[in-house]
Amino acid sequence: MCAAAVDKICVIGVGLIGGSFARALKRGALCGHIVGCGRSEQSLRRALELGVIDSYSTRPAEAVAGAGLVMVATPLGAMREVFSAICPALDAGAVVTDAGSAKAAVIEAVVQACGRLPANFVPGHPIAGTENSGVEASFAELFDRHRVILTPLPQTSPDALALVRGLWQQIGAEVTTMDVDEHDQVLAATSHLPHVLAFALVASLAHRSERQKIFDYAAGGFRDFTRIASSDPRMWRDICVDNSRALLDALREFRADLDQLAAAIEARDGDRIIEVFSAAKQARDQFVADKRKRPGS
Q: Within 69-108, which residues bind a copy of itself (CB under 8 A)?
A: 77
Measured distance CA(165)–CA(186) in Å, rounded: 20
Q: What is the nearest approach in angstroms of a copy of itself to the Cβ of residue 20?
A: 14
CB 240 within 8 Å of CB 193: no
Torsion of CA 45, 128, 103, 256, to 10 degrees: -130
Query: With binding defined as CB under 8 A, does residue 63 bind a copy of itself?
Result: no
Span near a copy of itself by CB under 8 A; candidates 14-22, 26-34, 104-112, 239-247:
239-247
Angle at 32 between CA 27 and CA 38, to 5 degrees: 85
Site string for a copy of itself, 28-57 (x = CB under 8 A): ------------------------------
Among residues 102, 149, 161, 167, the one that binds a copy of itself under rule CB under 8 A = 149
Q: What is the nearest approach in angstroms of a copy of itself to the Cβ of residue 17?
A: 13
Shorter beta-carbon distance to a copy of itself: residue 8 or 125: 125
Query: With binding defined as CB under 8 A, does residue 196 bind a copy of itself?
Result: yes
Measured distance CA(70)–CA(73) in Å, rounded: 9
| Nearest residue to 178 (alpha-carbon basis) of 209, 212, 150 | 150
Shorter beta-carbon distance to a copy of itself: residue 49 or 285: 285
Shorter beta-carbon distance to a copy of itself: residue 139 or 222: 222
CB 90 within 8 Å of CB 31: no
Span near a copy of itself by CB under 8 A; candidates 33-41, 65-73, 110-118, 230-238:
230-238
Among residues 115, 158, 223, 293, the one that binds a copy of itself under rule CB under 8 A = 223
Q: What is the nearest approach in angstroms of a copy of itself to the Cβ of residue 290?
A: 7
Measured distance CA(33)–CA(68) in Å, rounded: 11
Give the CA distances from residue 74 to residues 12, 38, 159, 185, 223, in Å, rounded to whole numbers and listed in that order: 6, 8, 24, 21, 28
> Inter-axis angle of helices 270-293 and 244-266, to 10 degrees?
140
Query: With binding defined as CB under 8 A, does residue 273 bind a copy of itself?
Result: yes
Query: With binding defined as CB under 8 A, does residue 253 bind a copy of itself?
Result: yes
Shorter beta-carbon distance to a copy of itself: residue 30 or 187: 187
Shorter beta-carbon distance to a copy of itself: residue 150 or 163: 150
Question: Bridge-partner residues for 175, per DSSP?
Answer: 148
Measured distance CA(233)–CA(217) in Å, rounded: 25
Question: Bridge-partner residues for 122, per DSSP?
Answer: 97
Q: How many CB atoms lie within 10 A of CB 68?
A: 19
Span near a copy of itself by CB under 8 A; candidates 1-9, 153-161, 163-171, 248-256:
248-256
Give the DSSP H or E segment for 6.
Answer: none
Shorter beta-carbon distance to a copy of itself: residue 7 or 108: 108
